[in-house]
Structure 1
């Protein structure tokens, strides 16, 4: 593990200990499931806490401890805050003033996958169908040999949905539509 990996492990431990002690409150992953205080992807981080000034200050203190210990500093130009729909306008403004950060209204996708999946799972993953359709609808692919079409289907089109399936269970209706597009292309 490189130095960055050790640093992220240290930050993860700080956040886990803070949540266990009740210093910050993570978000529930399901009604009876565990709470989530952070997610790390490559060099990006998503941190979760209650939307109040007390927990925000506590989270800032944890980040300060991390910055002092690791020498890494939070890039404020790349940092934003996302509030849940039920956070009051007053509370949002209070936290934004304390943080001097920008609010982002939507976290549509992260690493090509939807950040939030609501009641309509098919709608959350409709971009997959669009990407498959776009790959197959390119006029240049009409001139491909049968073997080249097979490679395109297996290597490119199936990879688009397989990556998503590694994280989410896609709706059957969406899988059928992707399959239909592939059959029509073939």
Structure 2
């Protein structure tokens, strides 16, 4: 996975990978979790092609395979339906509106509110009580 990270950093450094900037301060191109990978990039045909190239190069060098059936594509609400379906078709990955939870913690797509962690906190409180 270190090689994958290096390839992404190289593409970002070359200006080929256009990663989003959050809070006008932090640019995020990818995150690794155990055996999961989350990629962040601009929703465009060029970025999808570049992302596929990086992933295919990694798979060819490492012998790993990407399970596209287990993969999910989450797009910004600002991405048109037409572009979304083109991206999904090129990547071969289905689109989702909700990535669910990771180790019991909700993967947040919008603003964090009190209710975001309410279910998790009550579950932890009941376990501590018991």
Name the TM-score, length of structure 2 as normaliser. 0.88
Equivalent in 10, 13, 21 of residue 3 of structure 2? 10
Equivalent in 42, 50, 73 of residue 34 of structure 2? 42
Q: Within 5 Å, which residues of 2 pair with 1:13-24?
A: 13-24=6-17
Question: What is the CA-CA distance between 1:118 and the residue it aligns to?
Answer: 3.8
In the alignment, is the contact (CA less than 8 A) between 1:82 and 1:104 conserved in 2? yes
Give the CA RMSD over aligned residues: 1.9
Higher helix share: 1
In the alignment, is the contact (CA less than 8 A) between 1:118 and 1:124 conserved in 2? no
Spell out structure 1 runs of 4+ moving beyond 2 A: 117-121
Q: Name 1:55's counterpart in structure 2.
A: 47
In the alignment, is the contact (CA less than 8 A) between 2:105 and 2:120 conserved in 1? no
The 1:117–1:82 alpha-carbon spacing in structure 2 relative to 1, beyond 3 Å, is closer
The separation in 2 between residues aligned to 1:106 and 1:94, in whole angstroms, is 19
Question: What is the CA-CA distance between 1:42 and the residue it aligns to?
Answer: 0.8
Name the TM-score, length of structure 1 as normaliser. 0.64
Gaps of 5+ in 1: 1-7, 136-155, 158-181
The separation in 2 between residues aligned to 1:120 and 1:69, in whole angstroms, is 40
The separation in 2 between residues aligned to 1:75 and 1:66, in whole angstroms, is 14
Greater gyration radius = 1
Q: Name 1:114's counterpart in structure 2.
A: 106
Q: Name 1:90's counterpart in structure 2.
A: 82
Question: What is the CA-CA distance between 1:92 and the residue it aligns to?
Answer: 0.3
The 1:100–1:117 alpha-carbon spacing in structure 2 relative to 1, beyond 3 Å, is closer
The separation in 1 between residues aligned to 2:111 and 2:95, in whole angstroms, is 25
Question: What is the CA-CA distance between 1:130 and the residue it aligns to?
Answer: 3.4
